[in-house]
Amino acid sequence: MAMTLLFATLLLGFPAGRSLGAVSRAGQPTLGDVQQQLDDCRSEVAAIKVDLGISEAHYKQAKGGEIIEVHLPDSAGVVPVNVKDWQALLGLDLFEGEISPADYAKLQAKIKNWQASTVNDLKAEITDAVAFEQRTQQKCAALERQRNQLLGGGVLFKLVPSLTKVVNTHSTELTIDPTAGTGVLQHCCDGGAWDVTYTWKVPDTIVPGTKYQVEVSIQVNKVNPEQPLGFQISVLAPDFAQSYNIEYPHPTGGSKTFDIPVASDQSGSKEYSIQIGFESSSVTYTYQP
């Protein structure tokens, strides 16, 4: 399976270190090195989630009889094929005499077999992917613990949930959950109706002199009537301001991971904040030493 092969190529290491910005005794990696490996580990988790989301979407379509996955010749890759489109082409071939009724029946039976095998393959692929994601998350947690140990007497900013601030300017149609990192917009009547889900993930800790990641995503679930629409989610932090945009319907959703550097002089700050903005609303997370 293509995804399984992809996951198998992701490798993680666990070096130890002593201080930030210099090589320690015996050539052991520094705190900065460990932080970099933690960032890489989190990037791998994000990549796994993207691939897992694609497989889950394909699994849903396969169970509904919409697609089958066809293995490409001389390749480990697979491509999804729309069942109705394929059946329509077979029907046209039958009508034009390109294939016999017997061949048509055989091909229809083969499609049914492929549908069943596609569902089974994708189910196994998702199970493997979820297990691999869990193992990678555990490795990330081990790296984070190692990073915190190496931090020693340095400054570590920790998320303070009680200081999280939510500004919701569309409370009648926008539901925000700052703990889960979700914002669900169910817009109605003004120019049409649409259902959009914003998601984001911020770190639990931040170390000055290193960097951290914030992952954001937008998924358009429904638009009626169909029309082009633009959606945006932004990330604001000290010395950082970027956004992720999509233009529906191409694509209907997507995600982006931002690498955000933290200046060393932030170690003297009393707090650090990250703001997630969308639909003229925002969630601000506060970190303190």
Q: Which of 253, 60, 56, 29 is nearest to 150 (CA)?
A: 29
With vertex at residue 89, the alpha carbon angle to CA 83 and CA 92, rounded to the nearest 5 degrees, is 140
Q: In this predicted model, what pLDDT tens digit does every residue of 65-98 receive, in sequence order?
A: 888 887 766 656 778 888 888 888 888 888 888 8
Contact call for residues 140 and 42 (beta carbons, < 8 A): yes
* Length of the chain in terms of residues written: 289
Q: Does residue 58 sit in the same domain as residue 22? A: yes
Domain membership of residue 13 as a residue range: 1-151
Whole-angstrom distance, CA of residue 255 vs CA of residue 90: 37
How many other C-beta atoms lie within 10 A of the C-beta of residue 100? 11
Give the residue from 125, 151, 177 where a domain finishes: 151
Q: In this predicted model, what pLDDT tens digit does every residue of 127-136 receive, in sequence order?
A: 999 999 999 9
Across residues 115-127, what is the average pLDDT? Answer: 89
Q: Does residue 13 sit in the same domain as residue 141? A: yes
Q: Does residue 73 sit in the same domain as residue 161? A: no
Q: Does residue 140 sit in the same domain as residue 175? A: no
Q: Does residue 34 sit in the same domain as residue 126? A: yes
Number of separate domains in the chain = 2
Whole-angstrom distance, CA of residue 247 vs CA of residue 231: 7
pLDDT at 3 over 60: no
Q: Does residue 50 sit in the same domain as residue 146? A: yes
pLDDT at 50 over 50: yes
Q: Does residue 193 sit in the same domain as residue 233? A: yes
Q: Does residue 142 sit in the same domain as residue 198? A: no
CATH code, domain with 282: 2.60.40
How many other C-beta atoms lie within 10 A of the C-beta of residue 179? 8
Cut 0.75: pTM above it: no
pLDDT at 74: 64
